Amino acid sequence: MDFPTTERQASFLQLADRLAEAFAERAGEQDRSGEFPYANFADIRAAGLPALVVPVEFGGWGGDLLDAIMVAEHLARGDGSTALSFVMHMQTIGSAVEAGGWPQAPLAELCRAAVERGALVNSLATEPALGSPSRG
């Protein structure tokens, strides 16, 4: 998908393209061996990308849905499975932020973990009887 981007989006895409180049170099061997792409996720963390959709108020980059989609597309050019896994993180964080219902302290902790430690989250759940901020 190629269309005009803002300077900010262009910077996100340049970062994603650099990461995708590194992913592509490893993709063949990872596909042959079946090994999890640990190095790809180390690169994502080192680049600070887990902060992409975290709101600025929590120290993130404040990216929106379009930013997330464009970054995912560019990451997928290097390794689709890594991009898909990263989409799960962005969707989980984005949903937690947008859906509301989360107490401020746990939401802030979740967001800070992504920003400060590069935490990647693909699901937020708890025991059915205990409830959760995302499902009640």
Count the neighbouring beta carbons within 10 Å of the beta carbon of residue 72. 19
Distance CA 63, CA 10 (A): 12
Contact 69, 76 (CB under 8 A): no
* pLDDT at 39 (0 to 100): 97
Q: Tens digit of pLDDT for each residue in 23-71?
A: 999 999 999 999 999 999 999 999 999 999 999 999 999 999 999 999 9
Domain ranges of the chain: 7-117
pLDDT greater than 60 at residue 21: yes
Distance CA 79, CA 92 (A): 20
* pLDDT at 40 (0 to 100): 98
pTM of the shown model = 0.87
* pLDDT at 127 (0 to 100): 63
* pLDDT at 19 (0 to 100): 99
pLDDT greater than 90 at residue 92: yes
For the domain spanning 7-117, the CATH number is: 1.10.540.10
Q: Tens digit of pLDDT for each residue in 97-134?
A: 988 888 899 999 999 999 999 999 988 766 666 656 55
| Tokens 């205990």 sit on residue | 130
Tell me which residue of 62, 83, 66 sits closest to 16, measured CA to CA: 83
* pLDDT at 122 (0 to 100): 85
